[in-house]
């Protein structure tokens, strides 16, 4: 009897390992690297918050009330904070843990919505990031948004969704890198 239980336990364990995994998206946007520094070694403390209501990064609607949420392979907030830190470093800022000047990234939205029909798909990607730059006396708040749409004659793959989300995140990071109001505030107050 013990041998039978052991064998059945191994079979169940092996079948669980070979069960299909839920798809996940790799979120890895590249920062905008500045060829010329815009700051002279000004220090800034960077932090971030994820304020999204749901933690998935994609929703696939196959019709007939079949909606599948898809998670990210990594923490999107951490990935974006890291990208922003590398972007700031390339601009000449020195990112530190504590300092007079603080820059907070609030992730408000990062979602790919896919609707499949029999022969095509529609994909809508939304990104919204809020930056809060502040010192003890002054504060600068601005939202950066992006939206893209695409259609295809086949089903949308995980790679299609990754490209759509990462491309839009990179476009928003580029907007942040080129925002003269933000750069002026940081250079005058940090």
Within a domain: 30: no
pLDDT given for residue 1 in this prediction: 52
Say what the pTM is: 0.87
Within a domain: 69: yes
Within a domain: 6: no
Within a domain: 158: yes
Greater pLDDT, 10 or 56: 56
Within a domain: 20: no
Q: Is the pLDDT of residue 163 over 50?
A: yes
pLDDT given for residue 61 in this prediction: 93
Q: Is the pLDDT of residue 172 over 60?
A: yes
CATH assignment at residue 80: 3.40.50
Domain containing residue 183: 38-189
Letter string b/e over residues 15-47, b meaning 16 or more CB atoms within 10 A of that residue's CB: eeeeeeeeebbebbbebbebeeebbeebebebe
Read off the pLDDT of each residue in 46-74 and give the average, rounded to a whole number.
93
Within a domain: 22: no
User: What does the pLDDT look like over 103-156, one tens digit per residue?
Assistant: 999 999 999 999 988 789 999 999 999 999 999 899 999 999 999 999 999 889
Mean pLDDT, the chain, whole residue set: 90
- 43-50 and 102-116 strand pairing: parallel
Read off the pLDDT of each residue in 3-9 and give the average, rounded to a whole number.
48
131 - beta bridge partners? 105, 142
Indicate the pLDDT class of residue 63, thresholds 50, 70 and 90.
confident
Can you tell me the distance from the alpha carbon of 37 to that of 65, in angstroms, rounded to the nearest whole number?
51
φ and ψ at residue 136, rounded to 5 degrees: -60, -30
What percent of the chain has pLDDT above 90?
Answer: 78
Within a domain: 100: yes
Within a domain: 177: yes
Number of domains in the chain: 1
pLDDT given for residue 5 in this prediction: 45
């Amino acid at each position: 009897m013990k041998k039978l239980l052991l064998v059945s336990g191994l079979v169940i364990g092996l079948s669980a390992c070979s069960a299909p995994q839920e798809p996940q998206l790799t979120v890895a946007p590249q920062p905008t690297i500045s060829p010329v520094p815009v700051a002279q070694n000004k220090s800034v403390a960077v932090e971030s918050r994820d304020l999204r209501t749901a933690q998935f990064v994609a929703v696939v609607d196959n019709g007939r009330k079949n909606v599948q949420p898809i998670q990210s392979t990594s923490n999107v907030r951490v990935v974006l904070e890291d990208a922003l830190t590398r972007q700031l470093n390339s601009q000449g800022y020195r990112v530190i843990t504590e300092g007079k000047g603080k820059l907070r990234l609030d992730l408000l939205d990062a979602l790919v919505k896919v609707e499949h029909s029999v022969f095509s798909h529609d994909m809508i990607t939304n990104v919204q990031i809020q930056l809060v730059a502040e010192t003890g006396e002054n504060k600068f708040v601005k939202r950066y948004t992006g939206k893209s749409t695409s259609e295809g004659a086949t089903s949308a793959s995980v790679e299609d969704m990754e490209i759509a989300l990462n491309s839009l995140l990179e476009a928003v990071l580029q907007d942040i890198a080129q925002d003269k109001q933000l750069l002026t505030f940081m250079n005058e107050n940090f």
